[in-house]
Structure 1
Amino acid sequence: MKQVRVETPGGNYSIQIAPGRLDRLAEAVPADATTLVLVTNPTVAALYAERAERALSATGKRVLRIELPDGEQYKDWQTLNLIFDGMLAQHCDRKAVIVALGGGVIGDIAGFAAAVYMRGIRFIQVPTTLLSQVDSSVGGKTAVNHPIGKNMLGAFYQPISVEIDTDVLNTLPAREVSAGLAEVIKYGAILDAEFFAWCEAHAQDLRALDPQALAHAIARSCELKAFVVSQDERETGLRAILNFGHTFAHAIEAGLGFGAWLHGEAVGCGMVQAAELSALAAGLVQADAERIRALTLAIGCPVYAPDLGTERWFDLMQGDKKTEAGQLRFILLPKLGEAVRTPADAALVRQALDRTVAKTAGEQPAVVA
């Protein structure tokens, strides 16, 4: 088992990374917990809910399962209320513990429920997708979407533990694997050029779910995120670099409709766009921008963005949380392994869009569910 510590003002906890961790969830349950509220969705529940319930029941605590509809399009206020309705109907008290079993949508929405139920209860992250294991389960960002923008309603709220079972990735669709790998290579691009080069050398091993390659990629990603989050829990400075590619990505998701692309697919494409903007505005050498494009393609993510129309792109990006006083700000790379947060001239953003938005049928992104 590998263990990564996260230490923030909002709470200190461990990320446990090991095969079979799902069967040892009892180890993460506080002794004074009353009810364990397992929040999941039907897809994950069919595969892993009974195992999780069996492991949690070993504590002798009451276990309550709440299943939410599956998909990014359900990451909203109405779905959030399903958790509150279920918990209140079962008289869950302030010592109840929410256990989020699923991908990023489940982790975000269950974590937000924990942050506000009775003004805050404890929760445990049990991420079942690669993306959630390396990114969304770590660091305490919880949220739901609003029609105007992604993750507009939420809170910074840390879990008490993150339990990563690497075995669950064996049932993950290839598309979900590629989406998760986008977040993996992001860490190399912004923080660790050596890790980026390692990802280039092991891209096919990672897509094939090679156990050793996956274990290293997950652990290193968690270490890098823990390093950032421990210094800047609430994204007032350094943590913003974790949003590399996300301003473009969130525009893709909102422009196409949440759920049309997986979040990681949009992030992969968004990183290609941010790399092109970095070459135009931040000094990144074009050869390294091409490396980011090539690796994004190698892991199976789109490298051309949908044609939303230039003005629509700007409208959507203006709604991003990183915009300040109406000025667009981006995470850009002066060089591979180093990131900065900076405004970018609109004319250069237009050039980056011109380089990365699909213009022909051959370039048109083909994302197939």
Structure 2
Amino acid sequence: MPAVQVPTSLLAMIDASVGGKTGVDTPAGKNLVGAFHPPRVVLADPRVIATLPVAERAQGLVEAVKHGAIRDRAYLDDVSAAVPGVLGRAATEGRGTAGPEGAPPPPDLDAVQRVVAGSVRIKAEVVSADEREGGLRKILNFGHTLGHALEAASGYGIGHGAAVALGMVLEARLGEALGVTRPGTAADLAKTLGALDIPLTLPPGVDLAAVEGYLGRDKKARSGRPEFVLLEDLGRVAYDEDWARPVPPEAVREVLTTAAEAAPQGGS
């Protein structure tokens, strides 16, 4: 059946509408049922971003940060520069034209177009080289292995973008702990993501045992062991016989435990 994608969110424009994946969430985890079915055409109008709340735009920008982190450091810098425009901060700070009272601040459409074009370019390059995710396409899962587990363990109380943002930082810390990732990469990534005003700490009450359980059921897990995409540095994914690799469970547990200890505690 021919399909046409008409994405109306930033997240869909730069990620979900490119690549042909059709996934369905199940009680056991995210995207566990699906198929590859590329659309005939994708029609994206950046002007609809003006209708989105700022927080929703920020969720989409997380995927743009991911694209730069795995493939193109210069594009990552471009995304950082575009953040104020996409979120409409120029308008709220008196440097642009404000929207109607009560409406989300209007974005800078040039900034939106730069982000959409840059992310679509990167994802299209990766997907065209590996449509069925047998190799290179695995790098698009950076931040998603832990991110999906955190989403599920929270009962989907964490938004996708927020979960992936935290997942990227934690997976960068994991890479540093294993000696794969340049020290300081996680901190640099957290600084970039911090501009989106998305919390990068575990929410109170998330059960780490549940997170580990969902990791074992991840669609990318082999024999119950999840595989992780680890950075070499910002803009480069480490390759060791494959683009994703299993890591010692105790290393994952240590990263999660440290994050839980640093998380704000919920009130009574």
Corresponding residue for 2:100?
none
- Secondary structure of the residue aligned to 1:286 is coil
Higher relative strand content: 1
Establish whether residue 151 from structure 1 lines up as the match of residue 31 from structure 2: yes
Is the contact between residue 282 and residue 332 of structure 1 (CA under 8 Å) also seen in structure 2?
A: no
- Deviation by residue 1:161-193 (Cα, 9 ceiling, x = unmatched): 000000000000111111000000000000001
Task: Give 1:358 shift.
Answer: 5.7
| Equivalent-residue separation in structure 1 for 2:209 and 2:11 (angstroms) | 30
Structure 1 337/282 Cα, relative in aligned 2: closer, same or farther at 3 Å?
A: farther
Runs of at least 4 residues off by over 4 Å:
none
| Equivalent-residue separation in structure 2 for 1:137 and 1:271 (angstroms) | 21
Corresponding residue for 1:225?
123
**Structure 1 residues 288-307: aligned runs within 5 Å:** 288-306=185-203, 307=205
State the superposition RMSD in angstroms.
Answer: 1.6
Structure 1 338/282 Cα, relative in aligned 2: closer, same or farther at 3 Å?
A: farther
| Equivalent-residue separation in structure 1 for 2:263 and 2:154 (angstroms) | 18
Is the contact between residue 145 and residue 218 of structure 2 (CA under 8 Å) also seen in structure 1?
A: yes
TM-score, with structure 1 as normaliser = 0.63
- Deviation by residue 1:187-211 (Cα, 9 ceiling, x = unmatched): 0000001111222333322322221
Amino acid at match of 2:66: K
Corresponding residue for 1:247?
145
Is the contact between residue 138 and residue 225 of structure 1 (CA under 8 Å) also seen in structure 2?
A: yes
| Equivalent-residue separation in structure 2 for 1:280 and 1:359 (angstroms) | 17
List alignment gaps of at least 5 residues for structure 2. Answer: 89-106, 238-242
| Equivalent-residue separation in structure 2 for 1:160 and 1:282 (angstroms) | 43
Is the contact between residue 182 and residue 301 of structure 1 (CA under 8 Å) also seen in structure 2?
A: no
| Equivalent-residue separation in structure 2 for 1:360 and 1:181 (angstroms) | 23
- Deviation by residue 1:305-334 (Cα, 9 ceiling, x = unmatched): 235233222111111111012222101101
Amino acid at match of 1:349: V
List alignment gaps of at least 5 residues for structure 1. Answer: 1-120, 365-369
Aligned length: 242
- Secondary structure of the residue aligned to 1:179 is helix
Is the contact between residue 124 and residue 161 of structure 1 (CA under 8 Å) also seen in structure 2?
A: yes
| Equivalent-residue separation in structure 1 for 2:61 and 2:220 (angstroms) | 23
| Equivalent-residue separation in structure 2 for 1:357 and 1:292 (angstroms) | 19
Corresponding residue for 1:283?
180
Work out which of the residue numbers 120, 136, 142 in structure 2 matches 1:238: 136
Establish whether residue 341 from structure 1 lines up as the match of residue 244 from structure 2: yes
